[in-house]
Structure formats: structure tokens, C-alpha cells
Amino acid sequence: MRAIEIQRWSSPDELVVSHVPEPTCGPDEVLIRVRAASVSYSLSLLVAGRYQRKPTLPFVPGNTAAGEVLAVGSAVTRLRPGDRVLASLEQGALAEQAVAHQ
């Protein structure tokens, strides 16, 4: 799957698309086909390693994604495949697919 993967702290103009494994959803999570993701000033600080929190490298940045549910975990009760969603994530939105809690 294509994603922006941060392997070292860098500036936004150095970001490149790479291939990463497709995520899988846990029992209380949904897998989303990302159609849109937000980009902000805080994201540029995060990828440069200058934000107040620093995720472990490598990681896929992005904390907001919109798209459709592809799959649901065994404990998910409120969503089903095909539902359109907007998700707030810790990270992972700058990819073709992302996982979020229901």
C-alpha cells in the first residue's frame, strides 16, 4: 500500500511516497479506505521532529482521514463496510488505508 512513511526527521518538501504493509483492524477498530487527509502546520513540525511528541520511527503521519469503511473488527457495532466516515487518529492518515477505533 502507498503511504508517506517517516523514516527520519525531515522537512515536508523531502517527504516521499513509499510502500508499507496494509494495516489490519483489531476487534474494536475499522479499516478505512482513505479518500482525503488533512495537512497542517503541526504536521510539518511532527515530521521534522520538532513537535511536543515524537512517535517512534518509522511511522505514517496524519491524524485526520475521511473515506469509506472497508472492514470492521469483531466487536464493532456502530459501523459496517461501505459507511462513509471521518476519523480522528493518533497517526496513519497519510496512506491509502488507515485504522481507527469505532
pLDDT tens-digit map of 11-34 = 989 999 999 999 999 999 999 999
- Three-class SS of residue 42? helix
d(C-alpha 15, C-alpha 2), whole Å:
13
Place of cell 459507511: 83
Instruction: Quote the percentage of the chain above a pLDDT of 70.
Output: 100
pTM (2 decimals)?
A: 0.93
Q: How confident is the model at residue 101 (pLDDT cuts 50, 70, 90)?
A: very high
Give the chain's length. 102
Cell reading at 91: 497517526
Q: What is the mean pLDDT of residues 58-72?
A: 97
